[in-house]
Structure 1
Amino acid sequence: MENFKVNWDARVAAFVTAAAFSSMAVASSAHAAEAAPAKAKPTIVVLGDSLSAEYGLPRDTGWVKLLRDRLEKERLDYSVANSSISGDTTSGGRARLPAVLNRLKPAVVVVELGGNDALRGVPLATTEANLRTIVEASQAANAKVLLVGMYVPPNYGPDYSQKFHGVYEQLSKEKKVPLVPFLLAGIADQPTMFQADQIHPTAQAQPLLLENVWPSLKPLLGAAASK
């Protein structure tokens, strides 16, 4: 955990500036990233931030693209729409979700948001309320939901860190949705797995991100297919 703390401390200072510029750069291409899939297939929507939006990576090398490849390899007939924007917060995801649900009518919504809230000092109550609304709205649209959890840097203090992650744990239990405990599990304490900004994982790290998500996502696919 000491190595994790040192690495996170070095990354936090660079994050806010990087997120601000990346959100402006990526927002204009958000609709292209959400290209509507074939109507015959149920759709998995990934509602995320830069960790899912291929920030700083060559095109089609992020974990969401690898998810498409995994589905094809395992002959699971799903389309994947990546509705992720770098720098996005839970407020941003909440605001654009209704249009995403209306246009794509997903069978599954993967919610990968919240890290930017913590790093920008958004109150926990606001983050929780936004995530709750995202989950409830997705369920009301007959979509299964997968929450992807995050931990904050240890320099925020153990009390805040536990409370922040507890938001995901509580919503998972309350709304009966599965939880990926930590998207960056297995790489958070490995500097070589991050780009030069020490915030965003490299292309080499993307398969590990998928492996963190897949065990919780796969059981939802059969459930969605049977609806």
Structure 2
Amino acid sequence: MELIQQWKKQPERSFRVIAFGSSNTEVSWSGRHNWVEWLNLNLKTHIGRQVSVINQGISGDTTQNLLERIERDVFSFHPSAVIVTIGGNDTFQGFSRQQYADNLKQICALIRANNALPILQTYYCPMYSLGVADFEETFESFMQINRQLASELDIPLIDQYRVFEPFYRKHPEDYAKLMHDWVHVNHIGNAIMGMHVSSAFGLPEFMLPEDIKQETLALAERMNGCLDR
């Protein structure tokens, strides 16, 4: 991503990236890094200490909740970029496709109006077979709306779902090793998300701790092997 290379050339300035979403983003008491923390470490290591990633995920949030708190939780920090990952709770709460799309488009417009780059990110793939009825179709359509809006607005898209979903379909038992429950990833899933986000930012691979390195890399390799080439 060309933007962060510009940040690297300006060590005298401060640059902030906001991770804006729901429980997919919010840090927990697990004692393990989530994808936001992996990105923060990788940016600081390879771009510089002038770059900080601020986690503004709140469990249970919808696109409407993001709109209600965007001034307090995003614009007050004067960010350079905002990664928006949202949609699961909109699905649970019965938001229409139009309502979801309109809210997400408004979020992106507000971010741009505040001189920051909006970056849309799709989710990993929930384990639909263990979840609630009628979730899958709407959720997948919401992820597609992210793709359509990214293209329409000419903004970056980090498409986690495109990578996670084929692995779930082809190897559900192995996929379960990435999941905390049917709709949330665990520390392994978060590390793999962090790899994908880092790659989207043009960053090198990060250093995994030895206790999860072998399993994480093996599952990431299997996941990549499931992609249609």
Per the TM superposition, whether the score is higher than 0.5 is: yes
1:105 equivalenced with 2:78 (yes/no): yes
Aligned to 1:192: 177
CA contact (8 A) 1:184 1:209 kept: no
Counterpart of 2:198?
A: 214
Partner residue in 2 for 1:65 = 37
* Secondary structure, aligned partner of 1:73: helix
Structure 1 residue ranges, 4+ long, deviating more than 3 angstroms after superposition? 150-163, 183-189
Q: CA deviation at 1:40?
A: 4.2
Structure 1 residues 72-221: aligned runs within 5 Å: 72-76=44-48, 77-150=50-123, 153=128, 156=134, 160=138, 163-182=141-160, 185-186=163-164, 188=168, 189=172, 190-195=175-180, 197-218=181-202
Shift of 1:171: 0.7
Shift, 1:115, TM fit: 1.7
Q: Which residue of 2 aligns with 1:9?
A: none
Q: Return 99-108 or 145-154, whichever deviates more.
A: 145-154
1:44–1:158 Cα change, 3 Å: closer
Tell me, in whole angstroms, the C-alpha distance in 1 between the residues paired with 2:182 and 2:135.
20
Q: Secondary structure at the match of 2:160?
A: coil
Instruction: Give the alignment's TM-score, normalised by structure 2.
Output: 0.69
Specify the code of the residue in structure 2 equivalent to 1:71.
L
Aligned to 1:18: none
TM-aligned CA distance change 1:162 to 1:191, over 3 Å? closer
Q: Residue 184 of structure 2: SS of its match in structure 1?
A: coil
SS at match of 1:86: coil
Does the CA contact (< 8 Å) of 2:85 and 2:122 recur in 1?
A: yes
Q: CA deviation at 1:114?
A: 1.1
Which is richer in strand? 2
1:40-59 aligned at under 5 Å gives the runs 40-55=13-28, 57-58=30-31
Seen in structure 2, the aligned counterparts of structure 1 residues 173 and 130 have a Cα distance that, compared at 3 Å, is same
Query: Structure 2: how far apart are the matches of 1:52 and 1:115?
Result: 12
Which amino acid counterpart does residue 67 of structure 1 have in structure 2?
L
Displacement of 1:127 after TM fit? 0.8
8 Å contact from structure 1 (residues 183, 213) kept in 2: no
Instruction: Give CA-to-partner distance per residue, 1:5-52, whole Å, 9 cap, x none.
Output: xxxxxxxxxxxxxxxxxxxxxxxxxxxxxxxxxx94110001011111
| Whole-angstrom distance in 1 between the partners of 2:111 and 2:102 | 14
Alignment RMSD (CA, Å): 2.6
Letter in 2 for 1:119: F
5+ residue gaps, structure 1, are 1-38, 220-227
Aligned length: 179
